[in-house]
Structure 1
Amino acid sequence: MDTSTAPPAGRRAASATERQFWFAERIAPGSPAWRVLSTVRVEGAADRGALAAAAARVVARHPALRSVFAPADGELWCSVVPPVAPPLLELPPGTAFDAAARELARSGLLDPGTGRHVVLALAEDTGDVPGATLYVLTHHLVYDGLSHEVFTADLARAHARVVAGEPEPAPLAHCVPRPPDAGRRAELAAHWRAALDGVPDLPGDGAGPTQRELAGTEPHCHVVGFPSRAGAAAREAARRLACPPFAVLLTAYAQALYDLCGAEDFCIGTPVSTRTPDLADAIGCLLTTLPVRIRRPAAADACERTWATFTDGLFHMDLPQDDLVRAVRTRAGRRMPLYQALFAYESWPRPVHDAGTVRMRTEPVTPLGTQAEVLFQLNELPDHRLAGTLQAPVGGLWAGRLAELADAVGRRFAMLTTTTEEIARWH
C-alpha cells in the first residue's frame, strides 16, 4: 500500500472550512466574528453540577471540541487532545444575550489554540416558573449552526444519564467530509470560472473594507419585521413558483439590494451544510459558503432563476473555498472576494429534549461580529413565523441604510408572496 501521502499518525489534514477560520483567526485574533454564542433554554430547576458534568461528557464525546490546529510542511494539521471540562460561569438572574456576550468575552477562557473550544454561562430566570438560559460560547473553527442542535441534544441525553448515574457512550470518531481528488478539483474550478466569469462586486463604499477591517468593526443591527404566518406565505409562494421558501426569501433580499444600489449582476454568499449522513450527529464547522450569482433581480422570473443558480452551485459545492477563490478571482481588490453580501437562513426544527429533571431546546443563533459588508440573518420559527436581522459594520455604507433595506425586503417579500388573483382583487 502506498503511504507516501498518508498523514502522520494521530492527526489529519484540516478541512477547507477549518483552514478558512484558522487563517481568519490569524488575520484578526479574538474577533467576535469568528466566535459563536448560542443559547439553550432550560425548562425546570437547573442543577449546575449536573449541567457541568453533562457538558464535560459532550466535550469528551466530540473530537472537534478538543482539537488543536498547527501548520507543518505546508499543510494545516488537526490533532485531538485529551478532553478538558468546559468552565461554567454563573451570571446574574435574567442576564440577556448582549450582557452575556460581554461577560464571556471578558473571561478570556475560550482558547482554540489549546483545544479549549467551549465556555458556558448560566443565567437563572427571574420569574416564578423555574428555568434558565445556558449560554454556549464556541469558535466557528469547530462549530456551526447545526452543531448547536447536536450539542443541545447530546447535552440533554448526557444530563439525563448524569442524574440517573449512567455511563456515557464511547466518543465519536473524528470525521470530516472527504475532499475531491485532483481531477474533480480541476473540473469544479472550470465550472466556477465559467459560472462567475466577469461578475462585479456589489456597489460599495469606494475600495471597500478588507476582511480584517470587517472583523475588527462593531456590527450595527436592524430587525426586519415580518407579519404573522409569513413563513406560511413563503411556503405557498414557493409551491406556486416550484422552488423552496429559501429561494423566495433569498430573492426578496437580492431584490431589496437591487432597489437600494441598482446592481443588476452580483453575488450573494449563503452558508450551506456539507454534512453527509455519517456526519449528521457530529459537531464541527461542516459547511461551505456558496456564491449565488444574481442577475436581473427585478425581472419577473428572478425567483426561478435564483433557485436554478443555487441548485447548480449545490452540484459543484465540493470545491474547497480557498480553491474556488483562487480559480475565480482574476482581479486584485481589498474587499471580500466573490461576494460582499451574505444570506444566512436557519429553518431546521428545534425540538424540546427531555434531559431527565429538566427539558432543553435551542434558540436561533445571533451573529456576534461582522462577517460581511451586509448580512441578512433569517430564522424560521414555530407557528410559521419569520425572524430576520440585518447587520452591517458601524460606519460602513450599509449601516446607515439598514432601516431602508429592511423596508425593501418586506416590500419585495410581499410582492413575491402575493398571487395575481389577490392583486386583481385590489384593483
Structure 2
Amino acid sequence: MSHARHPLSFAQRRLWFLQEADPGSPAYNVVLVFQIRGALDRAALSASLLDVIERHEALRLEFVGSGPDVEQAAAPSRDEPPLEIIEVPWAALDAATRRVSSRPFDLQTEAPVRAALLVAGEAEHRFVLVLHHIVMDIGSRGPLLRDLAAAYTARCDGVSPRFEPIEARYEDYVEWQRRMLGDPADEQSRAGEQLAFWRRTLAGLPEELALPYDRPRSDDARHEVGRVEFDVSAETHAKLLALARATRSSPFMVGHAALAACLCCIGAGTDIPIGTPFAGRMEDFQGVVGLFINSLVLRIDLSDDPTFEEAIRRARPRGRAQPAVPNHVYVAECVIR
C-alpha cells in the first residue's frame, strides 16, 4: 500500500462483508455497456480510462485485511492500459459480454474496476465497464461518464483533459461520517441516538412477509432477479401527480403507499416493511465517484384499515410511520449487528 490507510465507510463495510461471505459471486458487479458503431480511437479510449481512474481515487482503492479490520488506501496512478481488447464474432458478442461482466472481483488482489472493448468488426464495438459496488453507486454514474466523455474527446484531439477540480475526496466522506456519528456505544452521540431510533422503529418487525409465492422459496441466495416493465399513461401520471399534490406528498410516497396497500391486500399482513435505497450524497460530494448509497426500511401500519389518502400521509417522512429519513446516516448493517 503506497498511500495512507483509512477505514471503510459503513456502506463499504456492508459490501465487504457480503463479498467475503460469497467471494465467487458477481452479484455486486456494476456493469455499464455501450454499443459503439462507427469510428473509434482505441488509444484515446484507453488513455481516457487512465485519466478517469487518476481523477477519482475510489477507482484506485486497494483493500487490505479481513473481517472488521479491513482498511483501504488509494493506490498510485496506473501506467498500464486498463482496457482489454477482445476480438469476437458478432454472433458471440452477447456471450462475451456476459463473461466479462460476470467475472467476480477479488478485492484483495485486483483493482475494483475493469474494462473491455469487444471488437466485432472495424466499426462495431461494445465497451464493457465493470466496477465493484464497493466503489460505485447509481449517483456516481453521472460524474464518471461525464468525465470519461470529456477525457475521450480531449484525447482524440491529442491533448490531456482539463477537468474542473474536485474539492472533496471519498476519504473525506468517510472521515466526516465517522466524526459526525461518533461512538455507537455512547448513547449521547449521533450514532447512539440513531441506533436507539432504529431499534424502536424496527421492534417487532415481521421476519418475513407472508406473500402468496407461486413456487417454494429456495433456502439458497441465488442472486437471481426478475424485471417487469410496464407503461404508465399520461392520464394516469397526471392523476398520480394530482393525488400527490392533494396529500402534500411526492409521487414516490404515493407509490410507496400503493405498494404497501397491494401487499396488504394479497395477504402480507398489516405491518408492511419495504426496503428502499437512499442516495446519502451531500452537495459537497456530487462530483465524487464512490459508494454513498444507504438502505432504509420504510414501515407502514395498516392495521386500522386506513383510507388510501391516510396511507399516503403515513408514507410521508414525518408521518405516523416514517421518521426514517432524518436518521438515514446510520446504515442497515450497524443496526442489525
Give the TM interval when normalised to the shorter protein: 0.7 to 0.9
Aligned to 1:306: 315
Aligned pair 1:269/2:275, yes or no?
A: yes
8 Å Cα contact 1:86-1:116 kept in structure 2: no
Shift in alpha-carbon separation, 1:73–1:95, aligned structure 2, 3 A: closer
Give the secondary structure class of the aligned counterpart of 2:131. strand
Aligned to 2:186: none
Aligned pair 1:224/2:219, yes or no?
A: no
Q: CA deviation at 1:185?
A: 1.2
Aligned to 1:249: 255
Give the secondary structure class of the aligned counterpart of 1:291. strand
Aligned pair 1:58/2:44, yes or no?
A: no
Aligned pair 1:322/2:322, yes or no?
A: no
Aligned pair 1:200/2:206, yes or no?
A: yes
Aligned pair 1:153/2:146, yes or no?
A: yes
Farther off after superposition, 149-158 or 260-269 = 260-269
Q: CA deviation at 1:50?
A: 1.6
Higher fraction of strand? 1
* TM-score, L = length of structure 1: 0.64
- Cα distance between partner residues in 2 of 1:302 and 1:208: 30
- Cα distance between partner residues in 1 of 2:233 and 2:89: 33
Give the secondary structure class of the aligned counterpart of 1:46. coil
Task: Give the alignment of 1:60-139 within 5 angstroms.
Answer: 60-71=54-65, 75-84=69-78, 85-90=81-86, 92-93=89-90, 99=95, 101-105=97-101, 108=103, 110-122=105-117, 133-139=126-132
Shift in alpha-carbon separation, 1:112–1:190, aligned structure 2, 3 A: same
8 Å Cα contact 1:54-1:155 kept in structure 2: yes
Shift in alpha-carbon separation, 1:233–1:242, aligned structure 2, 3 A: same
Shift in alpha-carbon separation, 1:267–1:282, aligned structure 2, 3 A: same
Q: CA deviation at 1:155?
A: 0.4
2:284 partner letter: D
- Cα distance between partner residues in 2 of 1:27 and 1:15: 18
Shift in alpha-carbon separation, 1:228–1:123, aligned structure 2, 3 A: farther
Structure 2 spans left out of the alignment, 5+ residues: 184-188
- Cα distance between partner residues in 2 of 1:243 and 1:322: 29
Which residue of 33, 37, 42 corresponds with 2:27? 33
8 Å Cα contact 1:92-1:123 kept in structure 2: no
Q: CA deviation at 1:260?
A: 2.7
* TM-score, L = length of structure 2: 0.79
- Cα distance between partner residues in 2 of 1:295 and 1:109: 40
Aligned to 1:144: 137
1:23 partner letter: F
- Once the two structures are superposed, what CA deviation does each residue of 1:343-398 show, in whole Å capped at 9, x if it has no partner? xxxxxxxxxxxxxxxxxxxxxxxxxxxxxxxxxxxxxxxxxxxxxxxxxxxxxxxx
Shift in alpha-carbon separation, 1:231–1:119, aligned structure 2, 3 A: farther
Aligned to 2:302: 296
Q: CA deviation at 1:253?
A: 2.5
- Once the two structures are superposed, what CA deviation does each residue of 1:28-68 show, in whole Å capped at 9, x if it has no partner? 11313211112346576332222221112111111111112
Task: Answer 1 or 2: higher relative contact order, Cα 8 Å, separation at least 6.
Answer: 1
Aligned to 2:16: 22
Q: CA deviation at 1:226?
A: 2.1
8 Å Cα contact 2:52-2:151 kept in structure 1: yes
- Cα distance between partner residues in 1 of 2:253 and 2:95: 35
Aligned to 2:241: 235
- Cα distance between partner residues in 1 of 2:267 and 2:97: 33
> How many correspondences in the alignment?
310
8 Å Cα contact 2:273-2:297 kept in structure 1: yes
- Once the two structures are superposed, what CA deviation does each residue of 1:283-339 show, in whole Å capped at 9, x if it has no partner? 11111101111221873211221123586211111113322223xxxxxxxxxxxxx
- Cα distance between partner residues in 2 of 1:94 and 1:288: 39
8 Å Cα contact 1:238-1:248 kept in structure 2: yes
Shift in alpha-carbon separation, 1:125–1:176, aligned structure 2, 3 A: farther
Aligned to 2:172: 175
- Cα distance between partner residues in 2 of 1:307 and 1:94: 50
Q: CA RMSD for the aligned pairs?
A: 3.4
Shift in alpha-carbon separation, 1:307–1:100, aligned structure 2, 3 A: farther
